[in-house]
Chain A
Amino acid sequence: MDLTRPDSAVPRGGTVRPFIRIEDLTVEYRSPSNQPLTAIDRLNLDVAQGEFISVVGPSGCGKSTLLMAVDGLLQPVEGRIEIDGTPVTAPGRDRAVVFQEFALLPWRTVRQNVAFGLEGQRMSKARREETVSRYLRLVGLENFAGHYPSQLSGGMRQRVGIARALAVEPQVLLMDEPFGALDAQTREILGEELLRIWDAHQRTVLFITHDIDEAVFLSDRVAVMTRRPARIKEIMAIDLPRPRTIEVKSSKPFGQYRRRIWDMLHDEAIQASRER
């Protein structure tokens, strides 16, 4: 069975043609001694429109690299990436990133940060303000619009990051371990928040994480990456009903999914640590 195809998924309102198609993607780095390092080797992955898919893998295996390639920041040595039929060669308005380190501009207010992605677009000031306000409300920060990032907690800062990414209304939301810099409780709360937010518009989400619970809780499917040179080891469909709440984390199916993925990752992690 070709697990890269989303047949096994339950995409929400998905079309038959994969929305994101990653084919034989190969990405190389140059090490400091100028040796080429293959970070990703012939990786294949298809994502349906409106799907929430997580990618988990051992540390340093290239999850972020994959995301950067999809964002168009990296040129593959081989293979290609297509979004809605269009090849990816550079960053574009159809994709937006949420960063692990938040990447907020410290000298701008929350409102100005959210407006950041909209400034390049031709839109009236009024419309821009309205969009910003709308997304601030969506993430629950309308009362903090005039604050500066340094005045906010980590969780709030990431909400600004999410609002900023959503404000440009991308086709694909790329999330690079967005909750990695937060404490466990904030992570759980934001996870629930994220589902609520996502529910409102159902964009396609590519979510990178090392937290298995998070991946299972949030996604329609979970793809497990191998260690470097990376490819997809296996994809698991998460057949839990939506909308999901925190309680689902203690359900039996959840535990089973978690166990399966943990076993897969465990293998890869041990091999990876042996090689280093």
Chain B
Amino acid sequence: MNLPGATGRVAAQAVPPILPIAALLVMWELAGRFGLVNVFLASMPSRVVTAIVEMATEGPLLTDVLTTVRLLFVAYGVSVVLGVVLGMLAGFLRKFEYGFSPLIWFFYNAPIVAFIPLLMLWFGLGGPTIFVLGLLFGFFPIYVNTASGIENVDPVLMRLGRSFCLKRWEMAWKIVLPAALPIIFAGFRLAMGRVFVGIIVGEIFAGSRFGLGFRLRNAADRLQTDESFAALVVIAVMAVLIGTVLRRLDERFSAWRMVGN
């Protein structure tokens, strides 16, 4: 399976991870140049790059990015606030959690995309629908993680609190919340990626005038392959950027985090 010991390790280190992507891009470019594929259908890396530059300098790319980012932050912010508030309610007051849980379970597991036509019916095209979609994608991980973090505090710590005569609010403030924080933050990080997906989906279906998702849809509808790939690349780059930032935050956070008793 593994190349024998040392050889395997050396080989792994020597090969830069960028190799496969670079290789694919080169093949794609060559295929285009030598007419192996219909360039109007399949495009080429060089044309895609040109398209990106055009869209950025003369076209609406910047506005698109800003529109998407703005919606992203608004939807994320509201998700966090709602998710944390309701999550805390559910975590501390079991009765509430029981009440919410069927609804939550339904939305958490159901394909949210099925709601898109409904949302479009209610809110029409544009901002509101996209925002709601982003909210739907982002709220649930935060709610579930917050409630779960609060409910699953190490029982020993709970016993500690009771043994030292902590009042109920003291227990919450001194023990439950700090203990739940890592899980709650994990929810925050999870939600960020999901809200982004929700926003892009919203823009593709209900976007108007600006937005990365809208740009992609628009270009594809006009059968402009170069522009479509350009938009896709920008979206992918954004996605990877967000993912990387989150992963760094995760690592930084875990280093700080105590492994506990």
Interface size, chain A (Cβ < 8 Å):
27
- Quick check: is B57 within 8 A (CB to CB) of the other chain? no
Q: A149-B260, A149-B261 are in contact. Are A103 and B157 (CB under 8 A)?
A: yes
Q: A99-B156, A99-B160, A101-B156 are in contact. Are A106 and B261 (CB under 8 A)?
A: yes
Q: B156–A107 contact, CB under 8 A?
A: no
State the CA gap A87–B190 with chains docked (Å).
51
B260 nearest CB neighbor, chain A only: A106
Binding site secondary structure of chain B: helix
State the CA gap A120–B258 with chains docked (Å).
25
Interface size, chain B (Cβ < 8 Å):
20
Q: Which residues of A contact B163 (CB under 8 A)?
A: 71, 73, 91, 95-97
- Quick check: is A77 within 8 A (CB to CB) of the other chain? no
Of residues 156 to 173 in B, which have CB atoms within 8 Å of A's CB atoms?
156-157, 159-160, 162-166, 170
0 or 1 for each of B4-39: is its CB under 8 Å from A? (1 = yes)? 000000000000000000000000000000000000
Among A96, A103, A120, which residue has its beta carbon within 8 angstroms of that of B156?
Answer: A103
Q: A91–B178 contact, CB under 8 A?
A: no
Tell me the minimal C-beta distance from B171 to chain A in angstroms.
11
State the CA gap A73–B163 with chains docked (Å).
7
B167 nearest CB neighbor, chain A only: A120
A99 nearest CB neighbor, chain B only: B156
Q: Of residues A68, A106, A120, A168, which shows the largest number of chain B Cβ atoms within 10 Å of its Cβ?
A: A106
Q: Which residues of A contact B179 (CB under 8 A)?
A: 105, 107
Q: Which residues of B contact A168 (CB under 8 A)?
A: 164
- Quick check: is B259 within 8 A (CB to CB) of the other chain? yes
- Quick check: is B233 within 8 A (CB to CB) of the other chain? no
Q: A99-B156, A105-B157, A107-B178 are in contact. Are A120 and B260 (CB under 8 A)?
A: no
0 or 1 for each of B233-261: is its CB under 8 Å from A? (1 = yes)? 00000000000000000000000011111
- Quick check: is A18 within 8 A (CB to CB) of the other chain? no
B170 nearest CB neighbor, chain A only: A120
Q: B261–A157 contact, CB under 8 A?
A: yes
B178 nearest CB neighbor, chain A only: A107
- Quick check: is A117 within 8 A (CB to CB) of the other chain? yes
- Quick check: is B175 within 8 A (CB to CB) of the other chain? yes
Tell me the minimal C-beta distance from B183 to chain A in angstroms.
13
Among A95, A103, A107, A157, which residue has its beta carbon within 8 angstroms of that of B160?
Answer: A103
Q: A73-B159, A107-B178, A120-B170 are in contact. Are A102 and B164 (CB under 8 A)?
A: no
Tell me the minimal C-beta distance from A93 to chain B in angstroms.
7
Q: A120–B165 contact, CB under 8 A?
A: yes
Of residues 169 to 189 in B, which have CB atoms within 8 Å of A's CB atoms?
170, 174-175, 178-179, 181
Q: Which residues of B contact A106 (CB under 8 A)?
A: 257-261
Q: Which residues of A contact B260 (CB under 8 A)?
A: 106, 149-150
Q: A107–B157 contact, CB under 8 A?
A: no
Q: Which residues of A contact B160 (CB under 8 A)?
A: 97, 99, 103
- Quick check: is A116 within 8 A (CB to CB) of the other chain? yes
A121 nearest CB neighbor, chain B only: B165
State the CA gap A73–B158 with chains docked (Å).
11
Question: Would you give 13 A-B contacts (Cβ < 8 Å), ordered by A?
Answer: A73-B163, A95-B163, A96-B164, A99-B156, A99-B160, A102-B261, A105-B157, A105-B174, A105-B178, A106-B259, A120-B166, A149-B261, A157-B261
Can you list the 4 inter-chain pairs with the closest CB atoms, starting with the nearest?
A106-B258, A103-B160, A150-B258, A106-B260
User: Told that A96-B164, A117-B164, A120-B165 touch, could you supply 6 new A-B pairs with CB distance under 8 A?
Assistant: A73-B159, A73-B162, A91-B165, A99-B156, A99-B160, A105-B157
Q: Which residues of B contact A (CB under 8 A)?
A: 156-157, 159-160, 162-166, 170, 174-175, 178-179, 181, 257-261
